[in-house]
Amino acid sequence: MPRITKDATSQTVVTTFEMTPGTCQDLLDALTDAYDSFISKQPGFIAAGLHVNDAQTRIANYSQWEKREDFQAMLRTDEMRKRNRAINELCKSFEPVMYEVAAVF
């Protein structure tokens, strides 16, 4: 489960994907498979969530990692590089951004 606390030492990555309604389900399936079979098994992985907007033109993803280096190591694997090339084909754009918790309400 995600842990959102101001004193957290973990890193949170928020990624937004932009796509057409016609490719939304395919992209969601690819992301779900990536988390189920690979990402969630990587060292330092804590939790993740996928959210789809009503128009099916955006997917918001957050993932939490024990350390920044854990997330970066996962991205550098041959497996994830291959998956990211396929994911890139399904969307107009995607951008992962690392954040630290500033406040919790």
**CA 86 – CA 101 distance, rounded (Å):** 31
- Return the C-alpha torsion angle 45, 85, 98, 31, nearest 10: -50
Rg of the chain, C-alpha, whole Å: 14
**CA 53 – CA 101 distance, rounded (Å):** 23
**CA 95 – CA 85 distance, rounded (Å):** 13
How high is the mean pLDDT of the chain? 94
pLDDT band for 85, please (50, 70, 90 cuts): very high
pLDDT of res. 23 = 97
pLDDT digits (tens, 9 = 90+) for 53-75: 999 999 999 999 999 999 999 99
Q: Which domains does the chain have, with CATH numbers?
A: 11-99 (3.30.70.100)
Judge whether 70 and 64 are in contact, CB under 8 Å. no
* Mean pLDDT in residue range 64-90: 96
pLDDT of res. 70 = 97
Buried b (16+ CB within 10 A) or exposed e, 6-24: eeeebbbbebbbebeeebb
pLDDT of res. 100 = 86
pTM more than 0.85: yes
DSSP-derived secondary structure for 16-49: EEE--HHHHHHHHHHHHHHHHHTGGGSTTEEEEE
* Mean pLDDT in residue range 75-86: 97
Query: DSSP label at 41?
Result: G
4 pLDDT higher than 90: no
